[in-house]
Structure 1
Amino acid sequence: MTALTGVILAGGQGRRMGGEDKGLLLLQGEPLYQHVLRRFRPQVNIVLISANRNIDRYQLSGCQVVSDSLPDYPGPLAGMLSGLRHSPSEWVAFCACDTPWIPDDFVARLWQSKADAPAVWVKSSLRDHPALALVNRSLADALEAWLLSGERRLMQFLRESGGHAVTFPDPESAFRNINTPDDLRDEEIPS
């Protein structure tokens, strides 16, 4: 693999969490994004965190924090755009801050299956997970134009850009995300 930048997407409004910053919610006594960082960091050369609030708290991780360049929280694509614009490498791996059980090799598997595609994302047995993706920095201008036109559909952008899904045989729980306060209760981190 070539040098890769990783971006943890933590810039949302946390609507389903009552407006709380989802990445900072505690799972087994530790902020959710820290669980992601622990699994993600060994898979890439550098990690950036895309966040739009609580910047100082995310900076405690030692990672550079980048914010959306577009106003009004336009969704994960805005975090991806910011990650692509700040990446020192040509390829950028993305992971949502609410997916603490990602496989330890998900980035390598995306890389091995990308062929000539400028973008690939995880597809589990039940659904696509477009926020778990590997994207070439060359898509940044097209992504910005997509967002400025009012579009917000992540997977449609990736598909229309020539990307494809990569099927992962892992248990569905590996890609489960924490969306509500109930999801945080009594969770066990798989080994």
Structure 2
Amino acid sequence: MTAFTGVILAGGQGNRMGGQDKGLLVLQGQPLYQHVLRKLRPQVNIVLISANRNIDRYQASGCQVVTDSMPDYPGPLAGMLSGLRHSKTEWVAFSACDTPWLPHDFVDRLWQQRGTAPAVWVKSSQRDHPALALVNCSLADELEAWLLRGERRLMQFLREHGGHPVEFLDPESSFRNINTPDDLANEETLP
């Protein structure tokens, strides 16, 4: 059996949420990241949370919290780099903290469809979801160099380094992410 580390990406600035820490926004009585943790934890051996503020609140989950090694919130790739550097397993499954309806087997399906690629990500019927990815730790040095060059495009990095999308035929709602206060309000009314 291959062991996996799961990383919840919760280190952003929350610009579209008025600067609020998106992972801690409450949906149906729980912080957003807790919904993701509940879905991700059974799929991996250990879960890390990538966060840059409210560290103590994330640590209350019992998960190790890792912070960006690069200043100024350089985006999800910086959280991925921290996750890869802190992982004790060869493979790391990533999920954004704002995707509460993840499929219960998305890590296994990425693993089964990766072929020999060092990275794969979810592609739903409508679009790619590169923050829902499975990445080999061997890409850490190349990712660090990419970030140091000022690059921030996640999917371009994954593609240029041998990755490919994995098609998921799940309902599009499985990959819905919550980016704005309106998105959050709309999710509260859904079952």
Smaller-chain TM-score bracket? over 0.9
SS in 1 for 2:187: coil
2:15 corresponds to which residue? Answer: 15
Q: Deviations over 1:39-82 (max 9, x none)?
A: 00000000000000000000000000000000000000000000
Number of residue-to-residue matches in the alignment: 191
Give the CA deviation at 1:29. 1.3
Letter in 1 for 2:142: A
Q: TM-score, normalised by structure 2?
A: 0.98
The 2-side partners of 1:44 and 1:104 are apart by 11
SS in 2 for 1:151: coil
The 1-side partners of 2:166 and 2:100 are apart by 19
Q: Which consecutive segments of 4 or more residues in structure 1 shift more than 3 A?
A: 188-191
Q: Deviations over 1:114-162 (max 9, x none)?
A: 0100000000000000000000000000000000000000000000000
Task: Could you tell me which runs of 5 or more consecutive residues in structure 1 were left unpaired when the two chains were aligned.
Answer: none
Question: Residues 101 and 190 of structure 1 are in contact (CA less than 8 Å); yes or no, is this contact kept in structure 2?
Answer: no
1:82 corresponds to which residue? Answer: 82
1:94 corresponds to which residue? Answer: 94
Q: Deviations over 1:8-42 (max 9, x none)?
A: 00000000000000000000111000000000000
> Does the alignment pair 1:177 with 2:174?
no
Q: Could you say what the CA RMSD is over the residues aligned between the two structures, in angstroms?
A: 1.1
Letter in 2 for 1:77: L
The 1-side partners of 2:78 and 2:188 are apart by 31
2:147 corresponds to which residue? Answer: 147
The 1-side partners of 2:190 and 2:70 are apart by 36
Aligned ranges for residues 90-169 of structure 1 at < 5 Å? 90-169=90-169
The 2-side partners of 1:37 and 1:190 are apart by 20
Letter in 2 for 1:90: E
SS in 2 for 1:187: helix
The 1-side partners of 2:183 and 2:153 are apart by 24
Task: Could you tell me which runs of 5 or more consecutive residues in structure 2 were left unpaired when the two chains were aligned.
Answer: none
SS in 2 for 1:92: strand
Letter in 2 for 1:111: W
> Does the alignment pair 1:28 with 2:2?
no
Letter in 1 for 2:166: V
> Does the alignment pair 1:70 with 2:106?
no
SS in 2 for 1:94: strand
Identity %: 82
Rate the CA distance shift 1:190–1:183 in 2: closer, same or farther, 3 A.
closer
The 1-side partners of 2:133 and 2:33 are apart by 17
